[in-house]
Structures are given as structure tokens and as C-alpha cells.
Amino acid sequence: MQCILGPVGNKQYQDYATHIRQAGGHLLDVINDILDLAKIESGQLQMNEQQVDVPQVVEACVRLLKARALAKGIELHATMEGKLLPIRADERLLEQVLINLVSNGIKFRPEGGTVVVKSSQSDADGHTFEVVDTGVGIANDDIPMTLEPFRQADGALNCRNEGTGLGLPLSKSYVPLHDGSLELVSKPGSGTVARVRLPASRLLNGIMENEAAQTRSAV
């Protein structure tokens, strides 16, 4: 069989294969998001709670999205206040929340600027994640709309960005499963702060290690 563009090793074939793979990966992500949303709405999403190392999850998120940020000239980094205790959470869902929030900060940010992932803890307030960007911001009246599935706030920059509009709604659904809350604070032209608060009851100080040790002893 004769190939239109010549031998199979032709660079154009390689580019086509790359684009097809990327499109397939994107489609798979969309399908998984829709399935998760359906499971949440039907109460069928299974939680896999475990001891989660906060710096490890945050650093994984930053590493994953670093190249995307650099491509737009955006500085992406994390700051952590003091020594952070592990937390009890579903690591996959927690990581996805941070990825969704950081992705939005990058997506709706013109060239340049910063996106910072902040983490802090206190005995009174529990654990707080903040994703702070210097992007276009959101009008206060539009914030509820951004938290609805398949909706995005109106804005000049939005028409140049692709997306299903599921990132924030999924995050809003994942956080309450951890007894927490998600808050958006924003103003047009002043960037956005996405704040996730998890209660102090989610902080761990050797609790799960002790329980695991007792279980092993009992066996």
C-alpha cells in the first residue's frame, strides 16, 4: 500500500499521531469527568480515604502543570507555611481539585503573571489550600455560574479558551466529600483566589499509623 506522504517515518505522520493521541487523552479526561459527575449526583462515588502527604500532592500538581504555565510565560510555584501534618483524604480527588483550580488560573490568565498554590494549617481552622492567580478575574455575579456544570463566566478571554466547564463544578463536589468548603474570591482585573478549607478533624498526627499498627498486631 502506498502512503500519500511517503514512508511511515515521515514527520507529518508523527505529528498526526501525536495530535490524535492528545485528542484521545482529552476525550478520555472529559468522559471520566462526566462519569464522576454522574456518580456524585447519584451518590455512587466511592471515597478511598487514606493518609495524604500535603507537600507531595501539591508538588505533584505543580510538576504536572509547570510546562503549561511556562508556555504562557506564567510563573507557577507553591508556598507552604510551617510543618504541615498529613491529612485524611481521597488522594486522587484532592489532587484533582488542585489540578482543576491551578488549570483555571493558568487558562484564564493572559501572557505572564503568576499562579501560586498556598498551604497552611491551624488547630482551629484545619487545612487551607489557596490557589491565587493574577488573571482577568470574575465578576461577583458570575461566580455562581462558574460553579455550574458546562458553564463558564462571560469574558473577552473566555472565548479563546477551550474547556467543558466541569473543572470547578467537580471541585465543588469533591470538597464537601471531605467535609470541606470551596470559596472563590475575585474581581475583574484583580485575579482570583480559590480557597479550599478542610476541617481540623481531617488533620492527622500519627492517628492512622497507630491504627494500622494495632490492626497488624491484632492479625
pLDDT at position 85 is: 96
Q: Are 119 and 80 a contacting pair, CB within 8 Å? A: yes
pLDDT at 167 over 70: yes
Helix (H/G/I), strand (E/B), else coil: 65:
helix
Tell me phi and psi for residue 210, to 5 degrees. Answer: -65, -40
Q: Which of 52-61, 90-99, 147-156, 164-173 is the least confident region?
A: 147-156
Q: Which CATH architecture best describes the domain 47-202?
A: 2-Layer Sandwich (3.30)
pLDDT at position 179 is: 96
Give residue 189's pLDDT band: very low, low, confident or very high (50, 70, 90). confident
Task: Name the residue with higher pLDDT: 117 or 1.
Answer: 117
Task: Name the residue with higher pLDDT: 190 or 216.
Answer: 190
Highest mean pLDDT (candidates 120-124, 187-191, 204-208): 120-124
Which residue intervals of 109-204 are DSSP H helices? Answer: 143-146, 167-174
pLDDT at position 158 is: 46
pLDDT at position 33 is: 60
pLDDT at 8 over 80: no
Q: Mean pLDDT score of the chain, rounded to an integer?
A: 78
pLDDT at 217 over 60: no
Task: Name the residue with higher pLDDT: 53 or 161.
Answer: 53
Domain ranges of the chain: 1-44, 47-202
pLDDT at position 161 is: 47
Can you tell me the distance from the alpha carbon of 138 to that of 140, in angstroms, rounded to the nearest whole number?
6
pTM of the predicted model as reported, rounded to 2 decimal places: 0.74
User: What does the pLDDT average to over 135-150?
Assistant: 79
pLDDT at position 22 is: 53
Task: Name the residue with higher pLDDT: 200 or 9.
Answer: 200
